[in-house]
Amino acid sequence: MNTVNMTIDGIKVTVPADYTILEAAREARINIPTLCYLKDVNQIGACRLCLVEIKGARALQASCVSPVGEGMEIKTNTEKLRLARKQNLELILSNHNRECTSCIRSANCELQTLCNELGVKEYSYEGSKTESNVDDLSASIVRDNSKCILCRRCVATCNEIQNIGAIGVSMRGFKTTVGCIYNKSLADSPCINCGQCILACPVGALHEKDSIKDVWAALNDPTKHVVVQPAPAVRATLGEEFGLPMGTSVTGKLVASLKRLGFDKVFDTDFAADLTIMEEGTELIGRLTKGGVLPMITSCSPGWIKFCETFYPDFIPNLSSCKSPHEMLGALIKSYYAEKSEIDPANIYTVSIMPCTAKKYESQREELGDDGMQDVDAVLTVRELAKMIKSAGIDFVRLPDENFDNLLGESTGAGVIFGATGGVMEAALRTVYEVVTGKTLENVDFNVVRGIEGVKEAEVDLNGTKVRVAVAHGTGNASKLLDMIKNGEKSYEFIEVMGCPGGCVTGGGTPIISANVHAYINPKIERAKALYGEDMGKTKRKSHDNTEVKKLYEDYLGDIGGHKAHHLLHTHYVKRNKY
């Protein structure tokens, strides 16, 4: 590896030759303020807050886009730099909606933090402001351009990481705006509702569509029996909203908090993840043995499903017909649970706690309901649940651990790893291997499909039949994989795709972390550790060992993949236009 020697604020450092000055400074534990920069996503030098002085240079340089050089002498903390950064920050504020106390990102806003750090207490530049425009027509995401600071982090995420291009930059100078083509709403764009733009946004210009009021109303309605289910990734992320370290598993406290909020029953989406493996695994075996459409591709991620329907409709026949786990559980709550409890399904209100904004859109799909009722009535993100817990005065960190309710609350280790990229694939392989071979796995860990590499490949031997599998996370990586299949470069039998980079643990509804934290900590890795830790601690680690799932088939569904199971647990997909 080629390296260069340089000096930053009098500190001699040796760094790789392909580093930027910003990266070199961070290597030396020197913090340079940034706003438009987001590691591995956006490096454009637009905000001019990361300015540094380079000896011999005639002007200040943006450190995020300036390459290092042998013998460079850099200064990051001079009076000239402090004044320039403060002035640039004040110019950004001059065209910003400064209603901070009522902003959804108050106390978690990178712009607000920088104002405090750089001592911006007054507004030196008052004048014209961009006309406010709030786009709230999407089922999942709200855009407020009065808060937009034109950092373009959302644009880079949507275009470069997710390969969607629902939003972009138009006009120039003061008239520059970020939005959809022809000023259309997100609802009329190819947006897949993944919410990765929300995670990228440093301010409150993007946020999820609020469902808190609807859930409180249901909880306060004596005629409603309100049932809640949290997704696997929720237990690996919720703790961050209460100051716990990233990667802390809070399953027991999560259940306790939901019961204290007043939900009548607390079931577990992990149960439905195990159920998904039973249905999806059977579907895969059927396609392998009866000549079905291959490769079969997972259908757990609604963002991925909409992406496929919009950009790769030729692959719709490849999608598993299984509903996503929370939709399966919603359907069972309004059928199996309602029958067992002798409750009219019309009086049951189902709430899903999801790490995903696309689930809000998914819950409204006409295909995901029965008898005029949607399987899931409301979807809350992890952030929304945290707000409810805080507003209820619940001391989350000190809560005792409590257990999910019986009937639809048991889960195995295979169910919990659904929240990490590769988890659905691994869970499926644990069951399919034992069903096909009739042998018990000595080691259930399929490490070959774990990790955060964009596309992972493996080959599994099922009694002499070689099954080629692949895992992709983020729709940008999914595009690369599907293009290789279309071009005949690759061939597989089974593929897992998650719409969000890293899988559900970094879904659009998870806690938002700053660019500074992103620079040093990878949430894809840290949050996944919590799920794999829970998997390791489970007595049962294979979906087909779930006792409650077995009982469900015996008492209610009948055959796996049978008529009743197919009616309640499976769906279909539609080709969509990009605009």
- Output the pLDDT for position 290: 93
Cβ atoms < 10 Å from Cβ of 392? 13
- DSSP states along 393-436: T--GGGPPP-PPPSSS----HHHHGGGSTTHHHHHHHHHHHHHH
- Is there a catalytic annotation at residue 459? no
Q: What angle do CA 442, 427, 436 make, to 5 degrees?
A: 65
- Output the pLDDT for position 323: 98
370-393 pLDDT, tens digit per residue, is 889 999 999 999 999 999 999 999
Residue 364 has pLDDT above 90, yes or no: yes
User: Residues 70, 117, 339, 367: which is the catalytic one?
Assistant: 367
Residue 463 has pLDDT above 90, yes or no: no
Mean pLDDT, the chain, whole residue set: 96
**What is each CA distance from 413 to 28, 39, 328, 501, 550, in whole angstroms?**
41, 32, 19, 22, 16
CATH of 213-569, one of 1.10.8.60, 1.10.340.70, 3.40.50.1780, 2.60.40.10: 3.40.50.1780
Closest CA to 277 of 496, 53, 33: 496
- Output the pLDDT for position 321: 98
Residue 465 has pLDDT above 90, yes or no: no
Question: Which 3 state secondary structure label does DSSP give 351?
Answer: strand
Task: Say how far apart CA 298 and CA 318 lie, in whole Å.
Answer: 9
Strand stretches in 305-365, DSSP E: 348-354
User: Residues 504, 524, 534, 543: which is the catalytic one?
Assistant: 504
- Output the pLDDT for position 378: 98
- Output the pLDDT for position 241: 98
Parallel/antiparallel/unpaired status of strands 348-354 and 378-381: parallel
Task: Say how far apart CA 199 and CA 515 lie, in whole Å.
Answer: 10
Q: What percent of the chain has pLDDT over 90?
A: 95
* Order of strands, sheet of 455-462, starting from the edge strand that comes earlier in the sequence: 296-297, 494-498, 465-473, 455-462
User: For 404-416, what is the mean pLDDT?
Assistant: 98
Domain(s) labelled CATH 3.30.70.20 in the chain stretch across: 134-208
User: Residues 280, 327, 410, 493: which is the catalytic one?
Assistant: 280
Domain(s) labelled CATH 3.40.50.1780 in the chain stretch across: 213-569
Cβ atoms < 10 Å from Cβ of 579? 11
12-58 pLDDT, tens digit per residue, is 999 999 999 999 999 999 999 999 999 999 999 999 999 999 999 99
Residue 315 has pLDDT above 90, yes or no: yes
Task: Say how far apart CA 198 and CA 175 lie, in whole Å.
Answer: 23
Which has the minimum average pLDDT: 84-93, 121-130, 566-575? 121-130
Which residues on adjacent β-strands are paired with residue 383? none
Under CATH, to which class is 134-208 assigned?
alpha beta
User: Residues 64, 109, 197, 300: which is the catalytic one?
Assistant: 300
- Output the pLDDT for position 125: 87
φ, ψ at 26 (rounded to 5°):
-65, -30
> Model confidence at 128, in pLDDT bands (50, 70, 90)?
confident
- Output the pLDDT for position 427: 98
- DSSP states along 119-174: T--S-------PPP-EE--SSSEEEETTS-----HHHHIIIIIS-----EEES-GG
0.85 exceeded by the pTM?
A: yes
> Model confidence at 126, in pLDDT bands (50, 70, 90)?
confident
- Output the pLDDT for position 24: 98
- Is there a catalytic annotation at residue 320? yes
431-447 pLDDT, tens digit per residue, is 999 999 999 999 999 99
Task: Say how far apart CA 315 and CA 483 lie, in whole Å.
Answer: 11
User: Residues 323, 359, 456, 524: which is the catalytic one?
Assistant: 359
What one-letter code names the amino acid at 71? G
- CATH number attached to the domain at 3-77: 3.10.20.740
User: Residues 23, 283, 426, 434: which is the catalytic one?
Assistant: 283
- Output the pLDDT for position 123: 81
Residue whose token pair is 């993100």: 381
- DSSP states along 16-72: ETT-BHHHHHHHTT-----SS-BTTTB----S--SEEEETT-SS-EETTTPBP-TT-
Residue 129 has pLDDT above 90, yes or no: no
Domain(s) labelled CATH 3.10.20.740 in the chain stretch across: 3-77
- Is there a catalytic annotation at residue 279? no
Which has the minimum average pLDDT: 46-55, 124-133, 498-507, 529-538? 124-133
- Is there a catalytic annotation at residue 209? no
- Is there a catalytic annotation at residue 241? no
For residues 340 and 492, the answer to whether their CB atoms sit within 8 Å is no
- Is there a catalytic annotation at residue 466? no
